[in-house]
Structure 1
Amino acid sequence: MKKLLNDPADLVAESLRGVERAHPELRVDHENRIIYRADAPVSGKVGLLSGGGSGHEPAHAGFIGPGMLDAVCAGEVFTSPVPDQMAEATKNIDGGAGVLHLVWNYTGDVMNFDMAAELAAAETDTTVEAVVMNDDVAVEDSLFTAGRRGTGAAIPVEKIVGAAAEQGRSLSELADLARRVNDNSRSMGMALTSCTVPAKGSPTFDLPEDEIEIGIGIHGEPGRRRVPLASAHDIAQMLVDPVLADRDFTGGEGVLVFVNGMGATPMLELYLMYNEVAALLDKAGIVPVRTLVGPYVTSLDMAGCSVTITRLDDELLRLWDAPVATAGLRWGM
């Protein structure tokens, strides 16, 4: 294992110190491993909270700031934060309008966010709603989930809901909007290589040089099948076909196409993959009107990519285009 480390046990804590130094617009509670936007809580605004295991950077902390999230709880690598962390964050971002939990569908995250909502409500009367994001079409159930996994849809959900929260919309309106964006989104990923969790020091799974995993999860969970290494054209087909088979993306105002790198895939290859994906969508009569290409939901040092497609309408398009100022996404400010 070759990584930029001191002690693997200190990796998350030391990384959060770097986040704090690099981004003075954020505030870090190191004891509870919570990252806040510096002006949280914002009076009269619904607070938006997400989080999960570390190792997916820039998700989750890279999306804190005006136009997106108010706070994020950081767990150990690929490990859910604990309920006390989430409850503390929930209380501290309540500006009087309630708090929306945006939860990636992994069993530990869902369970701990549920417990945190109960704790926050009991201690401070904070009103909490939760929306679970479950966009991955690869598998219906896994060792880590009941139902589909949450993957790339978190980015359009958090961006669109974040813009609506800045407008002062109510908690129930934001929850409905988050469900709508999630329902409009589908994702599929693949791996060229495994990732290596620092505490373990060896690859999470064995993937021979001449094989790839189709339908991989962002923690290295098994996918649909293992196949021989193929061309980018063929890999794009393996990712796009299941997504289009699962939902109708025609009509509306077009789609957002998000080609995500898993951590060790260069942008040169990701743009090549976007070209292949866009060609397949052209043939299907689906119009990309917005694009996002890059490593936004990663899996440590895994090589590979995922494709997320989100169907847009006039409102969702306006909210996607609204100003945002975070470390991971920034435009219009």
Structure 2
Amino acid sequence: MTLILALESTCDETAAAVIDGELNVLSSVVATQEELHERFGGVVPEIASRAHIERILPVIDTALSDAGVTLEQLDAVAVANQPGLAGSLLVGLMAAKSLCLALDKPLIAIDHLQAHVYACRMAAGKDVFPCVGMIVSGGHSSLYHCHSPLEFETLGGTIDDAAGEAFDKVASMLGLGFPGGPALQRTAEQGDAKRFRLPRPLLADKDRLEFSFSGLKTAVRYELFGPANPVDSEQLDPQLIADMAASVQQAIIDCLIGKALLAMKRTNLTRLCVGGGVAANGPFRDQLEQATEQNAYELHLAPRSLCTDNAAMGAIAVERFNAGLFETLDLEISPGLRRPGK
């Protein structure tokens, strides 16, 4: 039986999982850093990398223990080496390389974004490729033509901010705390999504599969704190906060669903796979299910437990293992993500 240890440290979650060749997750451990970044209202790269250094070995040890597996029983070690924060990626990669060198085991590279889509394959229990893959998270809003689990063709992505970043920044303006996405969704439940007429950037442009959310954030700031409203977040009316949260959430959802449907039409594919932290948003999931059903598309949403960063979705390493795609120990990180058109 094939056994792979997968490591994840692309941003602010230190994670490890043990997966077998049948895609069974024997263990999955995640050490979150939310409490470390909360007072800054966002992830601080230096703090994140230092926390990974402290947590990576205990997380690996716990994952092996929970799975009842020893290091010697492993057939390979997999690690996400792209994209992400440079310092965070380096911690995971160095840990993986050290294990491979000490144990004489092969090293497997994981693309973090491909893994988010592969979470849909794991949940489906069957092949879901080819498909349109959509990743919506704090750092990424991207669309791909996924020819296979390991062959992704970029269709489009954000030209500025990601959807999750927009959620977090607006939540900060509203004084809702960090992480902003879940807080904004809870607040939006009490709000009127039609109160504020906010822009849907690029939604009407049927020739482009890009996203843009920076203008939406600016529009919210002017609505809340423009010349006509010289107040700070602590002086905002609770109902206004709820209405703005609902309005922003709906604007983001409209943009995401609109471009996803456009990608389906452009590729003539009938299957859509969606992953990433924002994919855990309840209204987004509900409305996307309705939209795909109306258009007779097959939808696969990553389960909420696999939407936020984790190592279990590193099961995509099984695909690379079976294909004999291993890396040398001079493997490097690739932090950046190419912007559409660049």
Short-chain TM bin: 0.3 to 0.5
TM-score calculated relative to the size of structure 2: 0.37
Which fold has the larger relative contact order, with Cα–Cα distance below 8 Å and residues 6 or more apart in sequence?
2
Larger strand proportion, structure 1 or 2?
A: 1
- In terms of Rg, which structure is larger? 2
